[in-house]
Amino acid sequence: MAATTGTVPNSAHWGAFRARVEAGRLVEAVPFEADPAPVPLLRSVPDVVHAGNRVARPAVRRGWLDGTPRDAVPRGHDEFVEVDWDTAIDLVARELLRVREQHGNEAIYGGSYGWSSAGRFHHAKTQLNRFLASFGGYTGSTGTYSFGASSVILPHVVGYDANTGDAHSWADIAERTETWLMLGGAPARNMQVESGGIGEHRGSRALRAVMDAGVRAISVNPIRDDAPDGAEWLPIRPGTDTALLIGIAHTLLEEDLHDQAFLNEFTTGFERFAAYVLGEADGVPRHADWAASITGVPADRIRRLARELASSRSLVTATWSLQRAEHGEQPYWMTVVLAAMLGGIGRPGEGFAFGFGSEDAVGSPKQPFRVPSLSKGANPLAGREIPVARIVDALEHPGEAYDFDGERRTYPELRLVYWAGGNPFHHHQDLTRLTRAWQLPDTVIVHEPWWTPTAKHADIVLPATTTLEREDIGASSRDTWILAMHRAIEPVGEALDDAEIFRRISRALGLPDPFGDVRDELRAMYEKSRASAREAGVDLPDFDAFWDAGSVRLPAPKSSTMLGRFRQGEPLATPSGRIEVFSETIDGFGYDDCPGHPAWLEPVEWRTGYPLHLISHQPSTRLHSQLDGGSVSRDAKVAGREACRLHPDEAARRGIRTGDVVRIRNDRGALLAGAVVSDAVMPGVVALPTGAWYDPAPDGLERHGNPNAVTADRGTSRLAQGTTAQTTLVDVERWEGEAPAVEAFAVPPIAPR
C-alpha cells in the first residue's frame, strides 16, 4: 500500500525527487535535496501522472477483435473496446502462440526501442526482452537512435564505442584545454537528463566552470544559443561538418602544422587520406575555400582555426546529433582523424571526445563497479537483430537482403509487433510511411501508461504503471547516487506493472514466472551491485539500510585520461592496434556510401531541392515525447503547437511573424508549428524540437509540430544503417485562415466493457 499523504523518494531520467502526496494524489515532485541543480521538468510530473489521457483499462481495437480488414479500418482510425485483465491476457497469450506456431519466433518483433522510465528493474524493454526470450526468442533491434552511426564506425576506428565508453573529465578540460572546438556546441538543455536517473546534476555547472577557467570555446552550430555564454559562434550549414574538418586538415598539411610523429606512431593509413585531402587522385584539392563553399564558414576563418588548433592544447568534440545524419559515420571518423593530426590524443583535456552537452554525465567518471541493473536474458535468436532505425524497411520488405557493417542480413517476416517503453510514433522518421507499414503485421501489442500515438495505433493496449505507482531502484553508471524509488500512489485506473503483465502472460502460457516478487528482485539487484562495489573497494550499506534511507551516496570515482593508456603503448582493439585513418576492413566492404577513409559525401536529401534545412534537436521542455502534456512543455507552445525558430530574413521573405501558425512541408508530408522569429538560428535553417505528440488530421496534415512528419527514413549508410533524423530539407509558409484544432492528447473513442 502507498501512503495516502506524505513524502517518499523517487527518481526520473531528469532527476531524483521526493513525491509529495496528498489524499492519495501526487501534488508535487520536490527536487532531491542533494541535487545542486535540479531542473524545471519536475514541475510537469504531477500534471501527467494524473492526466485524463492515462490508459485506464486494457483495451482492444474493435477491428482487430472483429477481424475487420485493415484497408477498411486502418490502425489509428478505429475505436477501442475495453476488456478485463483476464480477457486481455488470454488474447495476448493465444495470439503469441498462434504466431509462433504459424510463423516461428522470428515473426515476433521485440526490438521495442525507447527510454521507458528511470527505474532499473521496471525497465519495460528489458522486461519484454526477458519475457520473449523465455518464450523461445524474438527478432530484436541493435543499436540506438542516439548514436546509431557512431557506435558502428568508432569500433573500426578506435577499437571501442567512444560515445559513452570514455571521455575527458570536466576537471581536465578546465585545467588543461586551451582551445575547445565544439561541433554541435554543448547544449545545457540536454544535460537535464541522463538515462537511468540523476541524483546530482553536474554537467551545466561543470561547463560553466570550464568557461570561467578561460578555455577558449568555439561552437560550430547552425544555432547560436546551444553553447555556453562566451563561446564564439561559427554558424555552419547543417550536415557539412565533415567538409569543414577536411578543410582544416588541408590547411594543417599545407602549412605543415600536423603532428607527423604522432601519426607515424599511433595511426595507420594516413598517406591515403592525405592524398584525398590534397586531391592527388582526382585533382580536387579540399582546401579551406573548397570547405567554405560547402559549409558557409568563411575560408579565412577555417585557415585561422587550423592554426589556432595546432598552436594550442586543443580538444575537438562532437555532439551525438552530428552523426544522426546522412553519412553520419563521416563527421565522427573525421573528428578522430583531425585530433590525430593535432597530436594531442591520450593527453588530459586534448584530442577528441563525443557527447559533451548531449547528456548530463558525459565528462563525469564512471563508477568502478556495476550499478544495479536487470538482465534481459539470452535471446535464442541473437545475431539476427534489425538495425533499430530500419524497422519500416523490415516491415515493408520481408525476405529482402540488406547490408549492415560488413554483413548481408535478411529482413524476417514480422507478423506481431510488441512494444513496451517506447514511442515509435514520436521517434521514428517519416511517420506517414511508418503509419502505412504499421498496417502490415497481424497484431500490434503495446504497454503504455498513456494514450500516446503509438498506443492509438495498437491492437491491444495494456495499461502500465508509472514509477510513482511501484517500487524500484534508480541508478546510472556515472552518477554519485543510488536512489530508492518508493511507491507514492496507488496504480492509476487498472494499470499493472509491466513485470506483473508479463508474469500473468507467462502463467497463461504455462511458462515459469520471468520475475520474482518485486522487493526480492530489488534486493537481489542491489546486493549484486553491492558485492561488485566491495570488490572495487567501495562499501555500501545493505539493502534494508539503503531502502530505509531512500538513497546512498557513492564516492566520486577517480577519473582517468581518455586514451591515456593507448598513448603509453597499449594497443587499441582495431586490426592494426592503432587509430585507423584508413580502414582496410571498411574499404573491403566496398560501400560507396562509406569508403575506406573519412570523406565528404553529399547527402541524397539535397537533391530534393527544398530551400531550408529543418533541424529537429532535442526538446528543452520535456524528454522526447515524455512530459509533453505537462505544464512546462505546454506553456512553451506557440499557438498551441510546438515552437519552431527561424531567422528574421527567412521569416520576412515569407511574411511570417512570431506567433503565426506555419506549415512546414516537403514531399513526404506537412506539419503545423508555431513560429518564433529569432536570429539565434542561422539563415537557411528552421529549428523544431522533437517530441510533440504526433497528431495527424484525417488528411494526413500533422497538427501539433512533430518534425518526423517530414523527416527522411533513410539509413546513414550501408555500414551502420543509423537514423538520419537530425536534418532534412523543407519549405515553410504562413498558414492562412483558421488552423485545425490539436487533438494530440485526446483519448481515442472507447466502448466500455
Ligand X SMILES: Nc1nc2c(c(=O)[nH]1)N[C@H]1C(S)=C(S)[C@@H](COP(=O)(O)OP(=O)(O)OC[C@H]3O[C@@H](n4cnc5c(=O)[nH]c(N)nc54)[C@H](O)[C@@H]3O)O[C@H]1N2
Supply the residues annotated as catalytic: 113, 115
Q: Which of residues 690-719 bind ligand X (CB under 6 A)?
A: 690, 707-708, 711
- At 85, list the grid cell: 485483465
- The reply to whether 222 sits near ligand X by the rule CB under 6 A is yes
Q: Residue for cell digits 586490426?
A: 575
Which residue blocks in 196-287 are alpha helix, DSSP H? 203-212, 241-254, 260-266, 270-278
Residue 420 contact, options ligand X, Mo ion, none, Cβ 5-8 Å cut-off depending on partner type: ligand X
User: What residue number has its CB nearest to Mo ion?
Assistant: 146
- Tally of CB atoms within 10 A around 635: 10
- Dist. CA 470–CA 633, nearest whole Å: 25
- The reply to whether 498 sits near ligand X by the rule CB under 6 A is yes
Tell me the closest approach of the beta carbon of residue 474 to ligand X, in angstroms: 13
- The reply to whether 603 sits near ligand X by the rule CB under 6 A is no
- Tally of CB atoms within 10 A around 607: 8
- Dist. CA 295–CA 13, nearest whole Å: 35
In 335-492, beta strands by DSSP E: 351-354, 386-387, 401-404, 407-410, 416-420, 443-448, 460-463, 472-474, 481-485
- The reply to whether 474 sits near ligand X by the rule CB under 6 A is no
- Contact predicate 707/673, CB 8 Å: no
Tell me the closest approach of the beta carbon of residue 223 to ligand X, in angstroms: 4
Where residue 143 falls (left for φ over 0; alpha for ψ -120 to 50; beta otherwise) is left
Residue 630 contact, options ligand X, Mo ion, none, Cβ 5-8 Å cut-off depending on partner type: none
- The reply to whether 190 sits near Mo ion by the rule CB under 5 A is no
Total site size for ligand X, rule CB under 6 A: 63
- Tally of CB atoms within 10 A around 34: 13
- The reply to whether 489 sits near ligand X by the rule CB under 6 A is no
Tell me the closest approach of the beta carbon of residue 426 to ligand X, in angstroms: 5
Stretch that binds ligand X, among 21-29, 116-124, 269-277, 670-678 (CB under 6 A): 116-124
Of 117 and 561, the one with the shorter C-beta distance to ligand X is 117
Q: What's the first-to-final CA gap in the chain, in angstroms?
A: 27
- The reply to whether 727 sits near ligand X by the rule CB under 6 A is yes
- Number of residues written out for the chain: 753
Q: Which of 616, 716, 717, 724 binds ligand X (CB under 6 A)?
A: 616
Q: Annotate each residue in 349-388 with x if it binds ligand X (CB under 6 A) or - if it does not, as one string.
A: ---------xx-----------------------------
Tell me the closest approach of the beta carbon of residue 705 to ligand X, in angstroms: 12
Four-point Cα dihedral 435, 436, 440, 445, nearest 10 = 10
- The reply to whether 625 sits near ligand X by the rule CB under 6 A is yes
Q: Which of 239, 412, 629, 674 binds ligand X (CB under 6 A)?
A: 239
Of 321 and 717, the one with the shorter C-beta distance to Mo ion is 321
- The reply to whether 723 sits near Mo ion by the rule CB under 5 A is no
Tell me the closest approach of the beta carbon of residue 144 to Mo ion, in angstroms: 6
Of 41 and 701, the one with the shorter C-beta distance to Mo ion is 41
Tell me the closest approach of the beta carbon of residue 620 to Mo ion, in angstroms: 15
Of 116 and 477, the one with the shorter C-beta distance to ligand X is 116
Count Cα atoms within 13 angstroms, Cβ side, for 603: 33
Q: Residue for cell digits 472507447?
A: 750
Of 146 and 335, the one with the shorter C-beta distance to Mo ion is 146
- Contact predicate 145/133, CB 8 Å: no
Of 211 and 322, the one with the shorter C-beta distance to Mo ion is 322
Of 485 and 572, the one with the shorter C-beta distance to ligand X is 485
- The reply to whether 605 sits near ligand X by the rule CB under 6 A is no
Q: Which of 108, 215, 223, 315 binds ligand X (CB under 6 A)?
A: 223
Q: Which of 617, 665, 668, 704 binds ligand X (CB under 6 A)?
A: 617
Count Cα atoms within 13 angstroms, Cβ side, for 345: 31
Positive or negative, the CA dihedral 529, 535, 539, 545 is positive
What are the C-alpha distances in Å from 440 to residues 401, 419, 448? 19, 16, 21
CB neighbours of 686 closer than 8 A, spacing ≥ 6?
A: 612, 613, 614, 615, 644, 645, 646, 650, 664, 730, 732
Longest dimension (CA), the chain: 77
Where residue 349 falls (left for φ over 0; alpha for ψ -120 to 50; beta otherwise) is left
Q: Which of residues 96-155 bind Mo ion (CB under 5 A)?
A: 146
Residue 625 contact, options Mo ion, ligand X, none, Cβ 5-8 Å cut-off depending on partner type: ligand X
Residue 526 contact, options Mo ion, ligand X, none, Cβ 5-8 Å cut-off depending on partner type: none
Q: What b/e sequence results for 225-244 when a residue is b if at least 16 CB atoms lie within 10 Å of its CB, and e otherwise?
A: bbbbeebebbbbbbbbbbbb
Of 12 and 288, the one with the shorter C-beta distance to ligand X is 12
Of 274 and 483, the one with the shorter C-beta distance to ligand X is 483
Of 149 and 661, the one with the shorter C-beta distance to Mo ion is 149
- The reply to whether 343 sits near ligand X by the rule CB under 6 A is no
Q: Which of 267, 506, 618, 716 binds ligand X (CB under 6 A)?
A: 618
- The reply to whether 423 sits near ligand X by the rule CB under 6 A is yes
What are the C-alpha distances in Å from 725 to residues 57, 129, 389, 616? 34, 26, 10, 7
3-class secondary structure, 726: coil
- The reply to whether 58 sits near ligand X by the rule CB under 6 A is no
Q: What does the DSSP 8-state code read for residue 40?
A: G
Q: Which of 57, 122, 168, 641 binds ligand X (CB under 6 A)?
A: 122
Q: Which of 53, 112, 116, 476 binds ligand X (CB under 6 A)?
A: 116
- The reply to whether 324 sits near ligand X by the rule CB under 6 A is yes
Residue 330 contact, options Mo ion, ligand X, none, Cβ 5-8 Å cut-off depending on partner type: none
Residue 616 contact, options Mo ion, ligand X, none, Cβ 5-8 Å cut-off depending on partner type: ligand X
Of 146 and 728, the one with the shorter C-beta distance to Mo ion is 146
Stretch that binds ligand X, among 215-223, 365-373, 434-442, 671-679 (CB under 6 A): 215-223
Residue 196 contact, options ligand X, Mo ion, none, Cβ 5-8 Å cut-off depending on partner type: none
Question: Angle at the Cα of 345 (from 341 to 347), degrees rounded to 5?
Answer: 135
- Contact predicate 472/522, CB 8 Å: yes
Q: Which of residues 62-91 bind ligand X (CB under 6 A)?
A: none
DSSP 573-588: SSTTSSEESS-HHHHH
- The reply to whether 146 sits near ligand X by the rule CB under 6 A is yes
Which residue blocks in 255-390 are alpha helix, DSSP H? 260-266, 270-278, 288-295, 299-310, 329-342
Interface residues with Mo ion (CB under 5 A) are 146
Task: Give residues in contact with ligand X (CB under 6 A).
Answer: 114-117, 122, 124, 145-146, 183-185, 187, 189-190, 192-193, 220-223, 226, 236, 238-239, 241, 319-322, 324-325, 358-359, 420-423, 426-427, 447-450, 452, 464, 498, 615-620, 623-626, 690, 707-708, 711, 725-727
